[in-house]
Each structure stands twice: as C-alpha cells, then as structure tokens.
Structure 1
Amino acid sequence: MSTDSRRGQRIARGRGRFARGLAITLGALAVVGGAAAASSLAQGPRATQIQQDPEAAVAQSGSRVIFTANESLAEIDEADVTVEPATDFTLDAAGRTVGVRFPTALDADTTYTVTIDGVRGLGGGPASTLTTSFTTPKARVLMLERDAAGDDRIVSRTVGADTDDTVFSAAQIDDFRATSAYLIATTVDGGVMHVTVIDRASGATHEIPLPGPGTVTGLQVSERGQLYGFTFTDANLSAAGGRENVLFTGSLASADAPVPVVVGGSEPSIDRWRFVPETSSLLLNSFDGDLTLVDRQNPDGEVSSFGTALGIEGVARSTYTALIDRFEEGFVELDLATGEQRVLSEVQFDRDALLGHIQPLPSGDTLRSYAMLEDGIPTTSRIVIASPEGDAREIAATRDTDVLQQVCASPSAQYIALIVSDATGPAYDGGVQSLPERIETRIYDGDTGDEVATWPGFDISWCEVGPW
C-alpha cells in the first residue's frame, strides 16, 4: 500500500473521530441547554437585578426597591407583597420590572425585607418568589453650634455615636438648611448678611446675590428640584417704602440672583410659607392673613386661595396636607388638592394645659407640646404624638429650668427632637435671629420615649424651619 493511501486512511479516520466528537459535544450542549431551560421553567421567574438606596430611604419619602426579572411577568397584586417590618407601600409593575415604593421615609438602622410571592411569567408556568433584604444606615443630622468666643459651625452627627464632623464654619452663622445635595447658610460678616451654598459632595461653594443690603429670614429648602427660598427685608425700610418680608426663591445649583414671588401682580409681605413636598408649589400666608398656593414653575398660572389663616404650622412629608391655624376653627388639616379640611381635636390632660408647638407627621398624627399650667402659669412641657381625634401618647417632658424652643421629628418620626434652652443660663447670643447661648437638642425614641442622645446646638436638619 502506498504512503498516500495510508495517509488518506488516517485523515478519514481523524475526520470520523472529529465528527463523532462534535456530535457528542453538540448533544451534550443540547442536553445541558435543555436541562437549563427545563430548570428555568421549573423554577419560575427570577430576579436578575435588584436596585435600592437605603441611605435615601431614611432621608426622604418616595424611595423604591426595584426588581428586574429574567422574563416578562404576569400581573402582580399588592396582596402578594409583604414588607417586614410592616410599612406602607405602593406597587407598580410593567414588563420585567416590579417596583415597591415607600410613600414615607423608612426608619434608620433597621433591616427591611421585601417579598413578592406567586410571581409568574407572562406565558404561564410555575410561580416563584422574589425577595431582598437591606439595612438602612443610622440616622444622621446636621446642626448649628454658635460659639461666642470663636467661629460658629454646622456639624454632622449620627444617632448612637459621640463624634461630630464640621461641615461648614464662619464667624457668625445665623441659619442653615440642607438637602441631600446642598447646604445653604446665612452668615453675617461686618454687619452684612450673606447667603452661601455648599455642594455637599465636592465642597465647592457659591454665593447667592441678594436683592440689596438687608436681612434674610425664613430660610427653607426643597428636595424636589433642589430649591431654596427666604424672605428678605431691605435695610433702609421706612414708611416711604421698601421691601418687607418679600419671598425670594432660586435653584441651589445656580449662582443666579433669586426671583421674587409675585401674587396678583405684586410682591406680598409673607409672614409664613412652606414648600409643598414633591411639588413645585409654595403655600403662602401673608401678613394680611391671605392663604394662597402658588406654582413656582408657573408664576403666571392660577393662584389657589384658601381663605385666611393665622399661620402655617407645616406640610406633612409625602402628603398634600397642610396644618393650618384658622381664626375660628383652630388647627385644621387642609387638603391642598381639594380644599377640604378637618378640625383637629384637643388633647385632654389631668390639669389645664396650653398648646405650644404642633407639627404634622406623615402618618396623619401630629407632634405637639403642651405647657402644664399651675394657677394659670406655664410650668414644664409635655410632648405627645396625637391622633386627629385627640388620642395622645406621651414621648417626653421638659425639666423645671428648661425653655422649650422647638420640637421636630425625623423623616419617619422614628426619633423626636426637643430643642431646649436653660432658663437660668446666659443672655441671648446676639445673632440676627437671636437665641439663648445655652441651648441643646435632646433626641428621643418615638416609640419608647427613651432619651437616646443629647447634643449641644440647635437648628437640627429634621426641622423644615429654624426655631424662630
């Protein structure tokens, strides 16, 4: 047999072995692929991606847990969803995505588990369960500490920790407010007020140009749109004219001059005002008592009038409900969408009491302080969480020498803050919006009433406004 013939036979045998090997490999892959497909069909849909932001969830309402599945899903009912610990949620699902939204902020330092049972593919098949757990961070706040002998500073503190970090300092800080992205502070230098914005991520700063020499008060911010607002009064205000408590707003991201709020063709003097959470609207209460709702993004649009009021106590986070002090009805919950209102009931104590502070909570309850009266004279204060019907649960009480300046709640009302000064302490600190020099903030657990921290300073970032 020739060499060429033997070589041809070897080549033929090699080709045969290769063909058989390829067939075996393809068969194995087909088996594996079929097994995988069968396994997938047997298991039902599974999550390929889960998105959540625990830090944002404790700071603001509207956070989401988003599941993305490996296939389009059949309709899911809210009854199939459980959240532990139990908290309110809404459900939105489309295609391969399922979103669980929390309309109110979540508690800090808490592990949440979200479970969706009975999840099926759009084409049918077995059901599966999608689940995830996440732990929210400890509660963090910003506070203002004034120092008569040195620079004032805005500090960052964490519930459960003893340390603090200086975020911003200046010779004289009058007020500040903060969003997740920015901090805005009013300062005084040589008798002249300034408004400074600090980017919390980069530390970069820019100054907001004021309408002229004057005084800035009522500083507030809005997380939605990263906005700020303040009332401005001219330094040369006189009987002849000038701006008095005119509201100006602007973007925290911009160094442009703020824009005055115009109602009915004029710039009204505003006593109290609030950003309406999750909207572009402003709720205004003028010195004449007029209560109006204005859309900042459409200043020429229709203005909603809600009659007259003595004041605005706040707008509940994640709601469209404002707490208003009316001339005749007293304190009412006002639905800004419909104009409907509900009168709040008083809390009954074992002795005479005088309502001091009241703030709306996302749950529909209110945080209140009452001064206990002895022979008609206010003594200590009791701080309670009250239902609209007047049922109350006591959280804390002040001490004999305390003067209660303000009460505030964390975004989820997990913690309650009492800002108190010492009645026997030194005089006022001499700021534009002055407060006693000896002042501190006490933090209480909103469920147990236990005091969990006491810090020097005030103006805690949980409050919509300062204590003035």
Structure 2
Amino acid sequence: MSTRTRRSARHRRRFVLAFVVTVGVLAAISVGAAAVSLTQGPRVTEVQVDPEAATRESGSRVIFTADQALAPIDASQVTVEPETEFTVDAAGRTVGVRFPTALDADVDYTVRVAGVTGLGSGPSSDLETRFTTPAASLLTLVRDPDGPDQIVRHEIGTDDATAIFAADAIDDFRATSAYLAVTTGEAEQMSLTVVDRASGEAADVAIPGDGTLTGLQVSARGQLYGYTFSDAELTAESGRANVLFTGSLRDAFASGEAAEPVTVGGEERSIDRWRFVPETSSLLLNDFSGDLTLLDTDDESATAFGQAGGIQGVARSTYTALVWRVEEGFTELDLSSGEEVPVDDVDLGGETILGHMIPLATGGTLRGYAEMVEGTPADSRVVAAAGGSVTDVATVAAGDALQQVCASPSAQYAAVTVAPDIVRNAFDRGVQPLPRDLETRVQDIRSGELVATAPGFAASWCEVGPW
C-alpha cells in the first residue's frame, strides 16, 4: 500500500470520528434542552414596556414574549403591584397586560403572569417583569413684564426647572409629548408657533387672518391641535366669531400648514366651549346657542345631546364628559350611549360656593370650593370626590385666589394654580389677562401633601388654560 493511500485512510477515520463526536454532542445538547424544557415550563425571551409613556397616557402595555406557544391566559393569573386596573390579551407566544389609565410616577411596578403553560400542556412557570416609572414633570407659563415670557419644565420632587421656550407676549400654550402649541401677540394680531420638543426647533404656522386665538387645546394621541378664532374686523353682518379650527401638529411643524375650520352640517358655528374626546376622532362642541354636539371628524357624523351651559371636561381613558345643564346641574354624560348620571353635591360642613370641577380618569371629580363665613369668602378648599367620599387635597388661604385645578394623567397629583394676595396682585396686559403673580402648587391627591410649588400657570396637565 502506498504512503498516500495510508494517509487518506487515516484522514477518513479522523473525519468519521469527529463527525460522530459532533453528532453526539449536539444530541446531548438537544436532549438536555428538551429535558430543561420539560421541567421548567415557558420562559420569557423579551419584555416590551415604555415606563415614561405609561405615565403620560392611558392604554400603555407590558408585552411578554415567551419561548413557545402558550395555553390560554385568564386575567385571574395576572397580578400588578401596586394594585392597578388592567386588562389582558394573549395570542401565540405573547401576553399583553394593558393599563386603561396612566400609571403613577416614580413608582416601582411588578407585573406577574402566574401558572403559564405551553400549548401542549407540560409544567407551568411564571412570567414576571419589574420596572420603575420616572418622576412626574410639569410645564407652566411664566409671564415676565420686563422680559420674554417662558414655558418652564419642572421635575416634580426636585429643584430642576428648565426654560424650554421663550417669546414676547405668550398668551397660552398646550403640550403633547412631541410638540408645544404656543399662541403669542397682542389682541387682534396674534401668532401661532409649533415647537418640536425633541429638537427645540420652532415653526410659525399660518392662521386664518388678523384676529384673536383662544381656547387652545391639543390631543396627545393623534398629535392634533385646535383653537377658536375671531376676526379683528367683526360686525353683525360679517366676520368669524369663535369659529373652531383643528389641524395636525406634525403637518403644522413640517410645513406650516394651517388648521381647517370645523363644520357641523356643512356650517361653521360659533363655539363657546369644546374638547377633544380622548383616544377618538371626535370633538365635543357647545355653541353659543347651547347646543351640545358630538362630532366625528372622520365621517363628519354628528350626535346631538340637547342643551348645555358648559363643558367641564372629558375624563382621560373614558368616553364620559362632565357637563353642566341649566336644570339638572352637573351630570356625567356617557358619549357612547347618551346616558346621564347626576353629580352629587358634597357636604363640607359649612356654606360653600363651587367654583371649579373637573372629571378624573380614575373616577369621581376634583373640585374647588370657596368657603363662606357670614356671607364673606374665606379659605378655598380643593377636594377629590368619588362614590360619596371626600378627600381634602389643598387649602388656599383667604386673600389668595384659586385660579384653576387640574390633575396629572393618573390622578396622582393635583395642580392648584393660585394668585397670592389677590387684592394687590394687578392684572397683566395679556390677550386673556390674569394676575401677574401666579404659582402652581402640586398636591398629592391621596394624602393632601404639598409636593412642589412652581411659578406660573396654565399647567400642562390641564386640558385648557385658566379662563
């Protein structure tokens, strides 16, 4: 046998031996993995959650992805700590835990799905994740008679305050996670600016003409904005008075594209109060004749809800509006069914006058009352009322004026705007004038603890400004 033949035979034996060893190792790994799979149950391969977005808006999710298809999941298998309302949907390898209301800020959350099994049965396991939501933040408008006005961002629980936009004569602003909508100028010569919050860049946006912009609002879910416009030259025969315009913040920033007038039945109406309906394409309108109308902007269909004297708000994560009827008083109106439930009065142990009321995403209302002593206004009290119970949130001392009450997205905090020493607190020269010295106090709604005090007003947690 030649030397070349013997070498070739040795190479073949080495190859066969290496192949057998490799197959054996792979088989052992496969058997080991199968054994582990048979003894430990499904495992988490990915978790998706955005803690910051979860504190800003309703409908956020924790999504688990497992390493195998799962047997049906029941809501009873899911726990969230601290206890929080949730819904569950599952399909294939994923389990989604949805929070219908925003989550509290600066809280450690644990989400656990217990007793999960594979689609073909086998041992069970728990899917679990932990995350911490960031501290809350709040924007306020600080007007300065000696310099530019500023929109300032405040980190709740710290002394952090950062001016994020400045301009002369800022009248109002509203904010989404991505944009600011800001109105500036003097009466009848106003401007609209949209600011990209990520870059700080600003874009001027075309408006209907010379006139006044009021009632500025935004919709976080659709990145929309709206305002009511009145022409500078307005007579009984001509001109637009409080006509509602809405548009896209994205388009306005990208190209300066103007908002479009809103029509009901093909006609522009003079709108007194209005609101975006959260998580929908609808607007709730209350015109100067008292007509209360729900308008779907997608198909322009309109639903009439009779006469109303005002809209107090539409609760986040719900389809329920708080409205005032001349005869019935305050009622909660289900916009999907038309059903109404009267809002009960509360007894604060003395004579009071109700001045402020807004709906809360968690149910109930946040209210501001002026206490009366022998017919004279005394302290103001801010309370949360739900299901017959009343929780004191804040007290504003006599002599100071309560300007507005709002709630954070999860109703964890209240923003209480106050004008100190109202007798000596002169009004500014804004298009919508207010006392020059204003501060916003952040109160814990559950405990009544004062958490922070920020200069300014028009808190970004509010649907509208304090007018």
SS in 1 for 2:331: strand
Partner of 1:452: 451
Partner of 2:436: 437
Separation in 2, partners of 1:334, 1:234: 33
| 8 Å CA contact retained: 1:348, 1:390 | no
| 8 Å CA contact retained: 1:344, 1:390 | no
State TM-score, norm by structure 1: 0.96
Per-residue deviation, 1:307: 0.5
Partner of 1:419: 417
Partner of 2:363: 364
Separation in 2, partners of 1:291, 1:6: 102
How many residue pairs are counted as aligned between the two chains? 462
Amino acid at match of 1:69: A
Amino acid at match of 1:401: G
| 8 Å CA contact retained: 2:186, 2:431 | no
Which aligned pairs between 1:30-49 and structure 2 lie closer than 5 A?
A: 30-49=27-46
| 8 Å CA contact retained: 1:44, 1:126 | yes
Per-residue deviation, 1:7: 5.2
- 1:215-272: CA deviation from partner (whole Å, max 9, x where unpaired): 0000000012211010011111122321111111011111222111111232111110
Which residue, out of 20, 23, 26, partners 1:26?
Answer: 23
Structure 2 vs 1, CA of residues 189 and 392 (structure 1 numbering), >3 Å: closer, same or farther?
closer
Partner of 2:281: 280
Partner of 1:246: 243
Per-residue deviation, 1:298: 2.2
| 8 Å CA contact retained: 2:186, 2:430 | no
Per-residue deviation, 1:295: 1.0
Per-residue deviation, 1:17: 3.8
SS in 1 for 2:114: strand
| 8 Å CA contact retained: 1:233, 1:244 | yes
Per-residue deviation, 1:46: 1.1
Per-residue deviation, 1:6: 5.3
Higher deviation after alignment, 255-264 or 211-220: 255-264
Structure 2 vs 1, CA of residues 329 and 191 (structure 1 numbering), >3 Å: closer, same or farther?
closer
Structure 2 vs 1, CA of residues 331 and 191 (structure 1 numbering), >3 Å: closer, same or farther?
closer
Which residue, out of 168, 187, 194, partners 2:191?
Answer: 194
| 8 Å CA contact retained: 2:419, 2:425 | no
Separation in 2, partners of 1:246, 1:17: 88
Partner of 1:262: 263
Which aligned pairs between 1:140-159 and structure 2 lie closer than 5 A?
A: 140-159=137-156
Which aligned pairs between 1:92-171 and structure 2 lie closer than 5 A?
A: 92-171=89-168
Amino acid at match of 1:267: E
Among the aligned pairs, what percent are the same residue? 58
Separation in 2, partners of 1:344, 1:428: 34
The yes-or-no answer on 1:16 pairing with 2:13 is: yes
Separation in 1, partners of 2:258, 2:7: 88
Amino acid at match of 1:139: A
Separation in 1, partners of 2:206, 2:192: 8
| 8 Å CA contact retained: 1:224, 1:280 | no
- 1:147-197: CA deviation from partner (whole Å, max 9, x where unpaired): 010000101111011121111110110000011111100001696200000
- 1:331-383: CA deviation from partner (whole Å, max 9, x where unpaired): 10000000001001100121111111001001211001111111222221111
Partner of 1:394: 392
Higher deviation after alignment, 334-343 or 4-13: 4-13
Per-residue deviation, 1:5: 4.0
Separation in 2, partners of 1:318, 1:416: 17
State TM-score, norm by structure 2: 0.96
- 1:24-57: CA deviation from partner (whole Å, max 9, x where unpaired): 2311220111111221222111111110000100
